[in-house]
Amino acid sequence: MIRIGIVGGTGYTGVELLRLLAQHPQAQLCAITSRKEAGMPVAQMYPSLRGRVSLAFCDPADAALGSCDVVFFATPHGVAMAQARELLAAGVKLIDLAADFRLKDTAEFERWYKMPHSCPDLLAEAVYGLPEVNREAIRKARLIGLPGCYPTSVQLGLLPLLEPAAGDLIDPMTLIADCKSGVSGAGRKAEVHTLLAEAGDNFKAYGVEGHRHLPEIVQGLRAIAGRPVELAFTPHLVPMIRGIHSTIYARIRPQARNTDFQALFERRFADEPFVDVMPPGSTPETRSVRASNMVRIAVHRPQGGDLLVILVVEDNLVKGASGQAVQVMNLICGLPETTGLTQLPVLP
Protein backbone atom coordinates (compact mmCIF):
# COMPACT_ATOMS: atom_id res chain seq x y z
CA MET A 1 0.00 0.00 0.00
CA ILE A 2 1.07 3.58 -0.68
CA ARG A 3 1.07 5.68 2.50
CA ILE A 4 -0.39 9.06 1.60
CA GLY A 5 -0.55 12.45 3.23
CA ILE A 6 -2.61 15.39 2.00
CA VAL A 7 -1.68 18.92 3.03
CA GLY A 8 -4.70 21.17 2.75
CA GLY A 9 -7.58 18.74 2.53
CA THR A 10 -10.48 21.17 2.98
CA GLY A 11 -10.65 22.72 -0.50
CA TYR A 12 -12.25 21.39 -3.65
CA THR A 13 -9.07 19.76 -4.96
CA GLY A 14 -8.48 18.29 -1.50
CA VAL A 15 -11.89 16.65 -1.26
CA GLU A 16 -11.55 15.45 -4.85
CA LEU A 17 -8.26 13.78 -3.91
CA LEU A 18 -10.02 12.16 -0.97
CA ARG A 19 -12.86 10.91 -3.19
CA LEU A 20 -10.44 9.33 -5.65
CA LEU A 21 -7.96 7.95 -3.12
CA ALA A 22 -10.72 6.46 -0.94
CA GLN A 23 -11.53 4.23 -3.93
CA HIS A 24 -7.91 3.53 -4.93
CA PRO A 25 -6.95 -0.11 -4.27
CA GLN A 26 -3.34 0.71 -3.34
CA ALA A 27 -3.84 3.93 -1.36
CA GLN A 28 -3.71 4.22 2.43
CA LEU A 29 -4.68 7.67 3.71
CA CYS A 30 -2.47 8.45 6.70
CA ALA A 31 -2.76 12.19 7.33
CA ILE A 32 -4.95 15.08 6.16
CA THR A 33 -3.96 18.49 7.45
CA SER A 34 -5.85 21.69 8.19
CA ARG A 35 -4.90 24.27 10.79
CA LYS A 36 -8.40 25.72 11.00
CA GLU A 37 -10.28 22.42 11.10
CA ALA A 38 -7.83 20.34 13.16
CA GLY A 39 -9.70 17.69 15.13
CA MET A 40 -12.79 17.71 12.91
CA PRO A 41 -13.60 14.36 11.27
CA VAL A 42 -13.21 14.66 7.52
CA ALA A 43 -16.62 13.06 6.97
CA GLN A 44 -18.22 15.74 9.14
CA MET A 45 -17.14 18.42 6.69
CA TYR A 46 -17.76 16.22 3.65
CA PRO A 47 -20.60 13.75 4.35
CA SER A 48 -20.06 12.26 0.88
CA LEU A 49 -17.03 10.51 2.42
CA ARG A 50 -18.91 8.92 5.35
CA GLY A 51 -17.96 5.30 5.73
CA ARG A 52 -14.96 5.67 3.42
CA VAL A 53 -12.65 8.16 5.16
CA SER A 54 -12.34 7.75 8.93
CA LEU A 55 -9.53 10.25 9.54
CA ALA A 56 -9.85 13.63 11.21
CA PHE A 57 -8.05 16.73 10.03
CA CYS A 58 -4.84 17.33 11.95
CA ASP A 59 -2.63 20.34 12.47
CA PRO A 60 0.34 20.32 10.05
CA ALA A 61 2.72 20.46 13.01
CA ASP A 62 1.31 17.16 14.32
CA ALA A 63 1.11 15.31 11.00
CA ALA A 64 3.62 12.52 10.47
CA LEU A 65 4.16 13.47 6.83
CA GLY A 66 7.76 12.28 6.87
CA SER A 67 6.58 8.68 7.21
CA CYS A 68 4.43 8.87 4.09
CA ASP A 69 5.44 7.57 0.67
CA VAL A 70 3.66 10.38 -1.19
CA VAL A 71 2.44 13.76 0.00
CA PHE A 72 0.02 15.86 -2.03
CA PHE A 73 -0.11 19.61 -1.53
CA ALA A 74 -3.64 20.83 -2.24
CA THR A 75 -2.77 24.24 -0.81
CA PRO A 76 -2.41 27.87 -1.82
CA HIS A 77 0.72 28.85 -3.72
CA GLY A 78 3.81 29.08 -1.53
CA VAL A 79 3.02 26.30 0.95
CA ALA A 80 4.69 23.38 -0.82
CA MET A 81 8.03 25.12 -1.36
CA ALA A 82 8.19 25.94 2.36
CA GLN A 83 8.08 22.23 3.28
CA ALA A 84 9.64 20.59 0.23
CA ARG A 85 13.25 20.30 1.44
CA GLU A 86 12.38 18.60 4.71
CA LEU A 87 10.03 16.08 3.13
CA LEU A 88 12.33 15.27 0.22
CA ALA A 89 15.15 14.68 2.70
CA ALA A 90 12.92 12.17 4.46
CA GLY A 91 12.47 10.26 1.20
CA VAL A 92 8.91 11.43 0.54
CA LYS A 93 7.73 12.01 -3.02
CA LEU A 94 5.88 15.30 -3.47
CA ILE A 95 3.05 16.23 -5.83
CA ASP A 96 2.16 19.92 -5.69
CA LEU A 97 -1.22 20.90 -7.11
CA ALA A 98 -0.36 24.59 -6.78
CA ALA A 99 2.14 26.59 -8.83
CA ASP A 100 5.32 26.39 -6.74
CA PHE A 101 7.11 24.01 -9.09
CA ARG A 102 5.43 24.68 -12.45
CA LEU A 103 7.48 27.59 -13.76
CA LYS A 104 11.19 27.05 -14.32
CA ASP A 105 12.01 30.77 -14.32
CA THR A 106 11.92 32.19 -10.78
CA ALA A 107 11.52 35.73 -12.10
CA GLU A 108 8.39 34.64 -13.97
CA PHE A 109 7.06 32.92 -10.87
CA GLU A 110 7.65 35.99 -8.72
CA ARG A 111 6.09 38.27 -11.35
CA TRP A 112 2.86 36.31 -11.61
CA TYR A 113 2.47 35.00 -8.05
CA LYS A 114 3.79 38.06 -6.17
CA MET A 115 6.03 36.14 -3.78
CA PRO A 116 9.69 35.12 -3.68
CA HIS A 117 10.55 31.52 -4.47
CA SER A 118 12.17 29.95 -1.41
CA CYS A 119 13.88 26.98 -3.12
CA PRO A 120 14.75 27.87 -6.72
CA ASP A 121 17.39 25.12 -6.83
CA LEU A 122 14.62 22.51 -6.64
CA LEU A 123 12.98 23.88 -9.78
CA ALA A 124 15.71 22.26 -11.89
CA GLU A 125 14.76 18.89 -10.44
CA ALA A 126 10.98 19.31 -10.48
CA VAL A 127 9.17 17.51 -13.30
CA TYR A 128 6.12 19.05 -14.93
CA GLY A 129 3.35 16.54 -14.31
CA LEU A 130 1.62 16.24 -17.68
CA PRO A 131 1.79 12.47 -18.35
CA GLU A 132 0.99 12.68 -22.04
CA VAL A 133 4.17 14.73 -22.49
CA ASN A 134 6.51 13.77 -19.62
CA ARG A 135 5.50 10.22 -18.75
CA GLU A 136 9.01 8.74 -18.53
CA ALA A 137 10.43 11.66 -16.56
CA ILE A 138 7.50 11.43 -14.13
CA ARG A 139 8.22 7.76 -13.45
CA LYS A 140 11.68 8.69 -12.12
CA ALA A 141 10.70 11.88 -10.29
CA ARG A 142 10.42 12.65 -6.61
CA LEU A 143 9.07 16.20 -7.03
CA ILE A 144 6.17 17.01 -9.35
CA GLY A 145 4.73 20.40 -10.25
CA LEU A 146 1.23 19.50 -11.42
CA PRO A 147 -0.16 21.47 -14.39
CA GLY A 148 -2.98 23.93 -13.91
CA CYS A 149 -6.45 23.19 -15.25
CA TYR A 150 -6.40 25.57 -18.22
CA PRO A 151 -2.81 24.60 -19.15
CA THR A 152 -3.76 20.91 -19.25
CA SER A 153 -6.55 21.47 -21.76
CA VAL A 154 -4.62 23.88 -24.01
CA GLN A 155 -1.41 21.85 -24.13
CA LEU A 156 -3.21 18.60 -24.91
CA GLY A 157 -5.24 20.36 -27.59
CA LEU A 158 -2.10 21.59 -29.35
CA LEU A 159 0.24 18.69 -28.61
CA PRO A 160 -0.14 16.75 -31.90
CA LEU A 161 0.30 19.93 -33.94
CA LEU A 162 3.45 21.24 -32.27
CA GLU A 163 5.56 18.13 -31.72
CA PRO A 164 8.58 18.23 -34.04
CA ALA A 165 7.67 14.83 -35.47
CA ALA A 166 4.48 16.32 -36.92
CA GLY A 167 6.38 18.76 -39.09
CA ASP A 168 5.64 22.43 -39.74
CA LEU A 169 1.84 22.22 -39.77
CA ILE A 170 0.67 25.43 -38.12
CA ASP A 171 1.89 28.93 -37.41
CA PRO A 172 3.11 28.71 -33.79
CA MET A 173 3.16 32.49 -33.38
CA THR A 174 -0.57 33.18 -33.82
CA LEU A 175 -2.23 30.64 -31.55
CA ILE A 176 -5.43 31.56 -29.71
CA ALA A 177 -6.99 29.78 -26.72
CA ASP A 178 -10.51 30.89 -25.76
CA CYS A 179 -11.23 29.04 -22.52
CA LYS A 180 -14.19 28.74 -20.12
CA SER A 181 -14.23 27.36 -16.59
CA GLY A 182 -16.78 26.51 -13.96
CA VAL A 183 -16.80 28.38 -10.67
CA SER A 184 -15.05 25.62 -8.69
CA GLY A 185 -11.85 26.63 -10.48
CA ALA A 186 -11.71 29.65 -8.17
CA GLY A 187 -11.43 27.43 -5.11
CA ARG A 188 -13.52 26.99 -1.96
CA LYS A 189 -13.38 30.45 -0.49
CA ALA A 190 -15.76 33.33 0.06
CA GLU A 191 -15.35 35.87 -2.74
CA VAL A 192 -17.96 38.14 -4.25
CA HIS A 193 -17.44 37.07 -7.86
CA THR A 194 -18.22 33.42 -7.03
CA LEU A 195 -21.46 34.12 -5.15
CA LEU A 196 -24.51 32.55 -6.78
CA ALA A 197 -26.09 35.96 -7.35
CA GLU A 198 -22.89 37.12 -9.11
CA ALA A 199 -21.87 34.05 -11.11
CA GLY A 200 -25.30 32.57 -11.83
CA ASP A 201 -27.07 33.59 -15.04
CA ASN A 202 -23.91 35.40 -16.10
CA PHE A 203 -20.89 35.00 -18.38
CA LYS A 204 -17.73 37.06 -18.46
CA ALA A 205 -14.06 37.12 -19.41
CA TYR A 206 -11.35 37.83 -16.86
CA GLY A 207 -7.57 38.13 -16.84
CA VAL A 208 -7.63 39.51 -20.37
CA GLU A 209 -4.53 41.65 -19.81
CA GLY A 210 -2.66 38.66 -18.44
CA HIS A 211 -3.45 35.52 -16.48
CA ARG A 212 -0.97 33.54 -14.35
CA HIS A 213 -1.63 30.40 -16.38
CA LEU A 214 -0.34 32.09 -19.55
CA PRO A 215 3.40 31.75 -18.80
CA GLU A 216 2.85 28.13 -17.79
CA ILE A 217 1.04 27.31 -21.02
CA VAL A 218 3.63 29.07 -23.19
CA GLN A 219 6.49 27.38 -21.31
CA GLY A 220 4.88 23.99 -21.94
CA LEU A 221 4.12 24.65 -25.60
CA ARG A 222 7.66 25.85 -26.26
CA ALA A 223 9.04 22.72 -24.60
CA ILE A 224 6.79 20.54 -26.77
CA ALA A 225 7.65 22.38 -29.99
CA GLY A 226 11.33 23.03 -29.31
CA ARG A 227 10.93 26.51 -30.83
CA PRO A 228 9.26 29.86 -30.09
CA VAL A 229 5.51 29.81 -29.56
CA GLU A 230 3.15 32.72 -28.91
CA LEU A 231 -0.37 32.41 -27.56
CA ALA A 232 -3.31 34.71 -26.89
CA PHE A 233 -5.14 33.22 -23.90
CA THR A 234 -8.47 34.52 -22.61
CA PRO A 235 -10.23 32.74 -19.72
CA HIS A 236 -13.95 33.10 -18.98
CA LEU A 237 -16.14 32.27 -16.00
CA VAL A 238 -19.32 30.36 -16.80
CA PRO A 239 -22.26 29.63 -14.44
CA MET A 240 -21.56 25.97 -13.75
CA ILE A 241 -19.73 24.19 -10.94
CA ARG A 242 -17.31 21.92 -12.83
CA GLY A 243 -15.77 21.80 -16.25
CA ILE A 244 -13.44 23.49 -18.69
CA HIS A 245 -14.14 24.06 -22.37
CA SER A 246 -11.22 25.33 -24.43
CA THR A 247 -11.65 26.43 -28.03
CA ILE A 248 -8.24 26.68 -29.66
CA TYR A 249 -7.48 28.32 -33.01
CA ALA A 250 -4.41 27.57 -35.14
CA ARG A 251 -3.54 28.83 -38.61
CA ILE A 252 -2.60 26.04 -41.03
CA ARG A 253 0.63 26.45 -43.01
CA PRO A 254 0.23 26.43 -46.82
CA GLN A 255 2.33 23.28 -47.14
CA ALA A 256 0.05 21.47 -44.64
CA ARG A 257 -3.27 22.10 -46.38
CA ASN A 258 -3.61 18.46 -47.42
CA THR A 259 -2.96 17.10 -43.93
CA ASP A 260 -5.57 14.81 -42.39
CA PHE A 261 -5.71 16.47 -38.97
CA GLN A 262 -8.34 14.08 -37.62
CA ALA A 263 -6.04 11.14 -38.35
CA LEU A 264 -3.09 13.02 -36.84
CA PHE A 265 -4.90 13.47 -33.52
CA GLU A 266 -6.22 9.92 -33.52
CA ARG A 267 -2.71 8.50 -34.06
CA ARG A 268 -1.11 10.69 -31.39
CA PHE A 269 -3.61 9.84 -28.68
CA ALA A 270 -4.38 6.25 -29.67
CA ASP A 271 -2.56 4.83 -26.64
CA GLU A 272 -3.46 7.55 -24.15
CA PRO A 273 -5.94 6.15 -21.61
CA PHE A 274 -7.40 9.53 -20.66
CA VAL A 275 -7.62 11.33 -24.01
CA ASP A 276 -10.55 10.61 -26.29
CA VAL A 277 -10.44 12.00 -29.84
CA MET A 278 -14.05 12.35 -30.89
CA PRO A 279 -15.40 11.43 -34.35
CA PRO A 280 -15.33 14.12 -37.07
CA GLY A 281 -17.96 16.81 -36.58
CA SER A 282 -18.30 16.25 -32.82
CA THR A 283 -18.80 19.04 -30.31
CA PRO A 284 -17.82 17.62 -26.91
CA GLU A 285 -19.71 18.81 -23.83
CA THR A 286 -18.31 19.45 -20.37
CA ARG A 287 -20.89 17.10 -18.85
CA SER A 288 -19.42 14.24 -20.89
CA VAL A 289 -16.32 14.31 -18.65
CA ARG A 290 -17.83 15.41 -15.33
CA ALA A 291 -16.19 13.68 -12.33
CA SER A 292 -13.88 11.68 -14.62
CA ASN A 293 -10.20 11.92 -15.55
CA MET A 294 -11.04 11.94 -19.25
CA VAL A 295 -10.27 14.68 -21.77
CA ARG A 296 -12.33 14.76 -24.96
CA ILE A 297 -11.01 16.50 -28.06
CA ALA A 298 -12.69 17.34 -31.37
CA VAL A 299 -10.87 18.67 -34.43
CA HIS A 300 -12.63 21.00 -36.87
CA ARG A 301 -11.62 22.76 -40.08
CA PRO A 302 -14.53 25.08 -40.90
CA GLN A 303 -15.39 25.14 -44.61
CA GLY A 304 -12.13 23.29 -45.30
CA GLY A 305 -10.23 26.56 -44.83
CA ASP A 306 -6.87 27.41 -43.32
CA LEU A 307 -8.06 27.75 -39.74
CA LEU A 308 -8.02 24.73 -37.46
CA VAL A 309 -10.40 24.75 -34.49
CA ILE A 310 -9.73 22.32 -31.64
CA LEU A 311 -12.36 21.78 -28.95
CA VAL A 312 -11.20 20.36 -25.62
CA VAL A 313 -13.27 19.52 -22.53
CA GLU A 314 -12.13 18.30 -19.12
CA ASP A 315 -13.27 18.34 -15.52
CA ASN A 316 -11.14 21.05 -13.92
CA LEU A 317 -11.10 19.25 -10.56
CA VAL A 318 -10.16 15.83 -11.95
CA LYS A 319 -7.94 15.80 -15.06
CA GLY A 320 -7.37 19.50 -14.38
CA ALA A 321 -6.17 18.82 -10.83
CA SER A 322 -6.72 15.90 -8.46
CA GLY A 323 -7.29 13.11 -10.98
CA GLN A 324 -4.12 14.05 -12.83
CA ALA A 325 -2.34 14.08 -9.46
CA VAL A 326 -3.43 10.49 -8.83
CA GLN A 327 -2.41 9.57 -12.39
CA VAL A 328 1.05 10.97 -11.62
CA MET A 329 1.18 9.11 -8.29
CA ASN A 330 0.48 5.86 -10.12
CA LEU A 331 3.40 6.52 -12.45
CA ILE A 332 5.94 7.41 -9.77
CA CYS A 333 4.87 4.43 -7.65
CA GLY A 334 5.12 1.92 -10.51
CA LEU A 335 1.39 1.19 -10.77
CA PRO A 336 -0.71 0.96 -13.93
CA GLU A 337 -1.52 4.54 -14.85
CA THR A 338 -5.27 4.03 -14.75
CA THR A 339 -5.39 2.53 -11.23
CA GLY A 340 -8.24 4.08 -9.25
CA LEU A 341 -9.19 6.37 -12.13
CA THR A 342 -11.63 4.38 -14.21
CA GLN A 343 -14.78 6.08 -12.93
CA LEU A 344 -17.26 6.90 -15.68
CA PRO A 345 -18.44 10.49 -16.09
CA VAL A 346 -21.57 11.53 -14.23
CA LEU A 347 -24.57 12.33 -16.43
CA PRO A 348 -26.76 14.38 -16.33
Domain extent listing, the chain = 2-125, 150-315
CATH topology of domain 150-315: Dihydrodipicolinate Reductase; domain 2 (3.30.360)
Q: Mind listing the pLDDT tens digit for each residue in 57-111?
A: 999 988 999 999 999 999 999 999 999 999 999 999 999 999 999 999 999 999 9
pLDDT at 9 over 90: no
Of 332, 325, 331, the C-alpha closest to 19 is: 325
Distance, CA of 217 to CA of 166 (rounded, Å): 20
Residue 188 pLDDT: 87
pLDDT in tens, 146-201: 999 999 999 999 999 999 999 999 999 999 999 999 999 988 887 888 888 999 99
pTM of the model: 0.97
Strand 127-128 vs strand 143-145: parallel, antiparallel, or unpaired?
A: parallel
Domain topology for 2-125: Rossmann fold (3.40.50)
What confidence score (pLDDT) does residue 22 get?
97
pLDDT on residue 189: 83
pLDDT for 190: 79
Rounded distance between C-alpha atoms, residue 132 and residue 128, angstroms:
11
d(CA 237, CA 216): 20
Q: Which of these is catalytic: 119, 149, 179, 333?
A: 149
With bands split at pLDDT 50, 70 and 90, how would you rate the model's confidence at 127?
very high
> From the CB of residue 207, how many other CB atoms can be counted at a distance below 10 Å?
15
CB of 290 closer than 8 Å to CB of 240:
no
pLDDT at residue 14, rounded to an integer: 95
Contact predicate 242/290, CB 8 Å: yes
Flag whether pLDDT at 340 surpasses 90: yes
Q: Is 333 a catalytic residue?
A: no
The helix, strand and coil proportions of the chain, stated in percent and rounded to the nearest 5, come to: 35, 20, 40
